[in-house]
Structure 1
Amino acid sequence: MYFLSVCKTLPGAVGNKRLLVSGLLTLLIALPCRAHPHSWIDIKTRILGSDQAITGLKMEWTFDAMTTAYLFDGEDMSPAQQEKTLHKLAASVMTNMLSQHYFTYFYDNQTPIRYQSVDTGQLSTAKGKATLSFSLPLAKPYPLNGHKLTLKIFDPTYYVDMSWKDSHDISFAPRLQDHCQQKLVEPNPTSAQISYAMSLPMDADPDNKLGQLFTQTLELSCKAQS
């Protein structure tokens, strides 16, 4: 995802910049109001399915150290209670993400591909970073019809860096591998859009249109063999 920052500008015409936000964190967990943190979420996605249909998406989201610290702030992470705490937080995160479609937008042209609600997720921690793992089963299997599908994962309101580092972070289930092609498209916001985003104060009302302007798009096409 392409991000801006009102406090730090990196080299380059527009650079790989990030905006200070806490909107996604507020939706993920019930955090108290505080200064806006930077938030980076590295995503890995596996497309699930058979040689006839796509059946779901398997996610692995790894939060940066600062976001992890906010997530665990005030929680009992002692060895005796850690597993229970992680289970509780994972359940809370999944419940809170439901209203935002799990920040995951899957389309065939302009038609959304819908998925079921998720009952469970798994939260783990290693080297100071938390990882949320969960699967999004589709509402019904989506046939491999050769259509160009698009997948975006982003916070539509605030700028949190939710991104695949590269195309290797996207994979297909073994039975889909011979049927699917993919292309990861980086965002290309206009100068006017960048200027508008940079002009917003940190306490501005949310702009629901900004998120997708600065996010990556995964394009994929899958076709069953006759």
Structure 2
Amino acid sequence: MNGAVRRGPARGPGRLACAAAVLLAALWLWPAPPAIAHPHTWIDVVVVFETNPDDAVTAMEQTWIIDPTYSRYLHDDAMQQFEGATPEEKLANLGAEILDNLGEYHWYTEVHADDQGIAVRPEGPPELVMRDGRIRFRFRLTLAQPLDPRRQTLRYAVYDPTYFIEVLHEPATPPRLELSTGPCRLDILKPRPDPAIVARALALDYNQTGEADLGRHFAETVTAQCD
């Protein structure tokens, strides 16, 4: 599984970030040097785009499937620290906090129409559940302006700029954009970071941050082609 969620003393998506301190105790017990390098957490992401009656893209739904170790910490933390009459309510409150804290990082999401960046914002409550030992965090982002995927090239990336968390698409569930005429083709371009950048990431300790936007070098970029 590949993907991640970041946390540091002054930066990181809040509760997701707090888990790093607990994970560190386990990481130090691992003999392999990469265990204390970036990234520390992994997320498999599933992306589904929404369209309006004119086939313009208006929103994207993301589901983050978090690695088992981090999932267990987040679940246990929610049960101990969050209000709620049921486990489901506690997890829902955790999800709301995570979504709010991710705003500082633009929800790890970049969307472009040709070369123009399109702002996104969350709409509606997120969903956070524990299933098969992994947290699934689902939320919806609306685009600031509709995007015509037939006339404009839709391109996006989902990544943690600090690279504390690695985010890659879930292999069995590719991103999806469907128009009234049928599905578009979404091509995932795998990252090919410079070896020097890889070495710098591997040299970072858990509480260190690299150059600005380090995670961009390790991000998958997806481009849509619609007929």
Check whether TM > 0.5.
yes
- Single out whichever of 201-210 and 106-115 deviates more from structure 2: 201-210
Distance in 2, matches of 1:57 and 1:40, equals: 21
Q: Which amino acid aligns with 2:101?
A: N
The residue aligned with 2:18 is: 31
Matched, 1:161 2:148: no
Q: Is the 8 A contact 1:57 1:135 kept in 2?
A: yes
Q: CA 1:108/1:159 → structure 2, altered by over 3 Å: closer, same or farther?
A: same
Q: Is the 8 A contact 1:2 1:187 kept in 2?
A: no
Q: Which amino acid aligns with 1:112?
A: G
The residue aligned with 1:65 is: 68
Structure 2: any 5+ residue segments left out of the alignment?
A: 28-39
RMSD: 3.1
Distance in 2, matches of 1:163 and 1:32, equals: 20
Q: Deviations over 1:19-72 (max 9, x none)?
A: x9645x941416276254631211111111144301110111111111112212
Structure 1: any 5+ residue segments left out of the alignment?
A: 4-17
Identity of aligned residues (%): 23
Q: Which amino acid aligns with 2:217?
A: L
Q: Is the 8 A contact 1:150 1:219 kept in 2?
A: yes
Q: Is the 8 A contact 2:124 2:140 kept in 1?
A: no
The residue aligned with 1:149 is: 154
The residue aligned with 2:36 is: none
The residue aligned with 1:45 is: 47
Q: Is the 8 A contact 2:6 2:13 kept in 1?
A: no
- Secondary structure of the 1:171 match is coil
- Single out whichever of 31-40 and 80-89 deviates more from structure 2: 31-40
Q: Is the 8 A contact 1:48 1:55 kept in 2?
A: yes
Q: CA 1:109/1:2 → structure 2, altered by over 3 Å: closer, same or farther?
A: farther
Distance in 1, matches of 2:207 and 2:137, equals: 28
Aligned residues: 207
Q: Is the 8 A contact 2:2 2:44 kept in 1?
A: no
- Secondary structure of the 1:212 match is helix
Q: CA 1:87/1:21 → structure 2, altered by over 3 Å: closer, same or farther?
A: closer
Q: Is the 8 A contact 1:154 1:212 kept in 2?
A: yes
Deviation at 1:150, TM superposition (A): 1.5
Deviation at 1:116, TM superposition (A): 3.0
Q: Deviations over 1:190-210 (max 9, x none)?
A: 222222222333332343221
Q: Is the 8 A contact 1:147 1:222 kept in 2?
A: no
Q: CA 1:94/1:21 → structure 2, altered by over 3 Å: closer, same or farther?
A: closer
- Secondary structure of the 2:176 match is strand
Q: CA 1:158/1:71 → structure 2, altered by over 3 Å: closer, same or farther?
A: same
Distance in 1, matches of 2:6 and 2:102, equals: 17
Distance in 1, matches of 2:41 and 2:151, equals: 36
- Single out whichever of 49-58 and 84-93 deviates more from structure 2: 49-58
1:107-186 equivalences under 5 Å are: 107-166=112-171, 168-173=173-178, 175=180, 177-178=182-183, 180-186=184-190
